[in-house]
Each structure stands twice: as structure tokens, then as C-alpha cells.
Amino acid sequence: MRDSLIQFAPALPEIFVLAMVSLILVIDAAVDDGKRTIAYVLSLVTLAGAAFLTVRDFSTMPVLALGGLFIDDPLADVLKLFLYLTVAAVLVYSRDYLRERGLYKGEFFVLSLFALLGMMVMVSASHFLTLYLGLELLSLSLYAMVALQRDSSMATEAAMKYFVLGALASGMLLYGMSMVYGVTGSLALGDMAQMLSDGTDLRIPLVFGIVFIVAGVAFKLGAVPFHMWVPDVYHGAPTAMTLFIGSAPKIAAFAFAVRILGQGLESQVAEWRDMLVILAVLSMAVGNIAAIAQSNLKRMFAYSTISHMGFMLLGILAGSQSGYGSAMFYVLVYALMSLGGFGMILLLSRAGFEADQLDDFRGLNRRSPWLAFLMLLLMFSMAGIPPAVGFYAKLAVLQAVVEIGYVWLAVVAVLLSLVGAFYYLRIVKLMYFDAPHDTAPIVASPDARLIMSANGLAILALGILPQPLMAICVHAIGASF
């Protein structure tokens, strides 16, 4: 009996989150609409409790549990802590927005925590089955979140597109996993890596399996040519849901890609590297060029996301510990930037008004110099302009690419990054040099303003001192691989 309980110890944060979600479901069903704050507070308590358990049992070396289905290692623990922080910021940013639109319900908090649970399972998966179960738990929660605003035709359409294309991607992923299983005879990533390193005669089925797996991973990241869902979902979903989709799941998608490609298929790096090169170049090109033509800020950020995922893929395709570490640093920084960008839209929105057009940011410096300064930091970071941390994040992945001899790829990335700087700096120009169209006072709760200030200043602080976070990322990768 004791040995059985010990097996579950590495998964204690996941068990705690599941138990708390069940409790929130029961309590939310018993209270009336005026007491939805209980679900909000309990959600934050859940995140704090999970963070406490993760820190208390922080793993210094990989520990397999649950019959090899689950792994607790420094990579998983670091990513989980950032997931808790990201989801907590989403909840704080979204509270006023949800309340003004009649969406401040237990469903949002329950779906957010279920999505978090799926992400936690993904980052700790050491088996194809666990990876897929975590991915589907996350995906099903996101589909429901996008459609949560039932009277919005745009949200319903976005949810249908997301669901249909997500089902297609899941099918491709499963097909690829089945082909790799047919070659190796195992679904465990560790066993699979060992068998493939010993060599196999079934090269063609293995390559086809890798192609389908990379396609599935690219869809979850929103990389070109599997990006068609990103602009429509970002635009159609309520901004609070877009904020969630655009931040935390990207961290889980990075873990998903690194677990499969960097651990399970590490010996086949020559097979999947060229595919990632194509995906990265297309994502950076299409994302940055298409974003220029957007007048809706959510759609612009959607194409921006596509280009940023292309940059993150540069680190992964390096196939080295420094490359994985730089990609991890990049995705954490991107989550922070995405939180700030969509969080600013939420802060400027009010009942009956969505601040999601570029023109809504005209003259923001006259209305609120502090918020304009924070938005400037976020735009500088996304564009890769020092001293914001986005510059160092891009520099790190470019160094990883140069180390493997792909200098031309680094040059292409730099040129496309210059293209992307245009639409970010356009927002800065609107804020500081144009007259405001809207002179209504900006009403935001003190906690949302505080989190936004911390978010923007973190972008600046990490840009000045990026070494501690980079060291954490490299150590987590080195201790887990």
C-alpha cells in the first residue's frame, strides 16, 4: 500500500488541482450568481496550492512514476511554476471583463483549471498515451472556452473552426504515433529513444510517422502551414479567452514538442530538422507580412504569434541542449509578452466597448502615460528592440542556429524580424503622436493595474538581467535530458 502511494507522489500537484476543480464545481452549483467570486478566489487558491506542492517536491533529477507514464524532472517543475503564474495573471486580468459581459461564471474558472491540468500532464508526460491525454484535456477545455459566449456568432464560429481543425490535427498526431509505435514496439519515450538509437530497418514508416507527428505539433503551435485557425480563433473568441489561449498553452506546446522530438526522437534529428526549418521560415514570413495588413489588434497579435512560434522553432531545430534551453527561454518570454499585450486590451475595454482596434490606442499617452509606457515596453520586446527582453530571446535562438552552421537561417530570421518591427512600432506611433479618438477615463481594478505594471516592468528587468532566467532554462533542460 505504501509503495502504491509513493508512486502517486510525483503527481501530487495534478491530483490537488483535480480535487480542487471538483470542489469548485460542487460549490459553484450550490451558490447563486451574486457569489461567483467564491470560484475566482478558490481558483487562485488552487494555483497557489499547486505551486507550493511543486516547489516543496521540486525534483533535481528525473523520477518516473505511474508505471513509466509520468515523469517529474526539473523541466516539468519549472514549466509548471510558470503555468501557475500565467493562469493566475489571466484570471486577474479577466475578472472585470467577464463581469461586464455576463461571463463571470464558474464555467470559465473550471475550464481554465481543467486546461491547466491538461497542460501539467503534457509537461510531465513520458509516454505517448499521457501526452495525448493531456493534449486532449487541454484542447477540449479550450474549445468550450472559445464558445462560452453563447450569444456571439463570432465566438461560436471560431469554436467550430477550432474544433474541426483540432480534430484533424489530433488524427494526424495519432496516426504518426501509431507508425512510430509500429517501428519501435513501444509508446514510452525513453524506450523508443533507446530502440531508435540502436538503428532500425523500417526507415520509410518511421519517416512518415515523424512527418505526421511534426504536423500535429505544428498545428498546436500555430506554425505555417497549419496556422489557419489562429487568426479566426483569436479574433472570434472573447478577449479573456484569447488571452488564455495565447499564453499558457504555448508553454505546454513547447513541452510537447521537446518531449517528443528532443527525447523520444532525438536520434532522428536529421529527419525532423529540415521539416522544422521549413516551418520556421514560413511562420516568420507569413506571420510578419500578414500582420502588417491588420487593423484589428487581436488578429495582428495572432499573426505575431505565428511569427514568434517560428522563432521558437529555431531553438528546437538546433537539436542541442543550448538550443532547447534558448527555445524554452523564448516561449516563457513570449507568454509574458502575450499576457501583457492582451491584458492591455482587457484594461482598456469596458462594457459595450472592445478596445481591439489599432485606432483605440491612439493618444493613449495623453489618457494614461503609465499604461502607454508599459505598452511601449511590450511592443519593443515583441519587436526585439533592446533593452526589452525580447531582444535577448531572439538573440539566444539565433545563436543556437548559428552554432549548428545554419548562418543563412539566422540571416533570414533577422530580416523577417525587421519586417515585424514595423507593425509593433506603428502602435507606439499611434500612442504617442496621434490624437485620441476616445477620451473616456480608463477604468480598471487596482489588482489588474498592479499585475500589468509588474508584467511590463518584468519585461524591462529581464531584458537588463536575462542571465538568471536563461540559467534556469538551461539547467532544467540539462538536468532532464
pLDDT in tens, 203-242: 788 888 889 988 988 988 888 888 888 899 998 888 889 9
Supply angle C-alpha 103, 105, 106, rounded to 5.
145
Contacts of 461 (CB under 8 A, 6+ apart): none
Q: How many CB atoms lie within 10 A of CB 280?
A: 28
| CA dist., res. 275 & res. 293, Å (int) | 28
To which residue does cell 542556429 refer? Answer: 401
Backbone angles phi, psi at 353, to 5 degrees: -140, 120
Supply the pLDDT for residue 155. 86
| CA dist., res. 192 & res. 385, Å (int) | 42
Pair type for strands 63-65 and 70-72: antiparallel
Domain of residue 171 covers 2-480
Task: List the one residue out of 204, 362, 220, 192 whose CA is nearest residue 279.
Answer: 220
| CA dist., res. 13 & res. 393, Å (int) | 30
Supply the pLDDT for residue 367. 85
Supply the pLDDT for residue 34. 67
Cell of 271: 529527419
Polymer length in residues for the chain: 481
CB 116 within 8 A of CB 125: no
Cell of 340: 501583457
Supply the pLDDT for residue 51. 94
Cell of 468: 538568471
Cell of 329: 527561454
In which element (H, E) is residue 67 found?
A: none
Helix 106-123 to helix 128-146 angle, to the nearest 10 degrees?
160
What are the DSSP calls for 319-382, one per residue? -SHHHHHHHHHHHHHHHHHHHHHHHHHHHH-BTTB---BGGGGTTHHHH-HHHHHHHHHHHHHH
Residue-by-residue pLDDT tens, the chain, 481 positions: 555 667 778 889 999 999 999 999 888 888 776 677 888 899 999 999 999 999 988 878 888 888 888 888 899 999 999 999 999 999 999 888 888 888 778 888 999 999 999 999 999 988 889 999 999 999 999 999 998 888 888 888 889 989 988 888 899 999 999 998 888 888 888 888 888 877 776 778 888 888 998 898 898 888 888 888 889 999 888 888 999 998 999 999 999 999 888 888 888 888 888 889 999 999 999 999 999 988 888 899 999 999 999 999 999 988 888 899 999 999 999 999 999 999 998 888 876 677 788 888 888 888 888 999 999 999 999 998 888 899 999 999 999 999 988 899 999 999 999 998 898 999 999 988 888 877 777 777 888 889 999 999 999 999 999 999 999 999 998 887 7
| CA dist., res. 43 & res. 244, Å (int) | 15
pLDDT in tens, 252-276: 999 999 988 888 888 888 888 888 9
Supply the pLDDT for residue 221. 86
Alpha-carbon separation of residue 341 from 41, 337, 346, 349, 359 (angstroms): 24, 6, 9, 13, 15
CB 60 within 8 A of CB 74: yes
CB 91 within 8 A of CB 112: yes
| CA dist., res. 219 & res. 256, Å (int) | 12
Task: List the one residue out of 110, 259, 267 whose CA is nearest residue 187.
Answer: 259
Task: Look at the pTM and tell me if it is higher than 0.95.
Answer: no
Q: How many CB atoms lie within 10 A of CB 213?
A: 26
Q: How many CB atoms lie within 10 A of CB 63?
A: 14
Supply the pLDDT for residue 408. 92
Count of structural domains within the chain: 1
3-class DSSP state of 437: coil
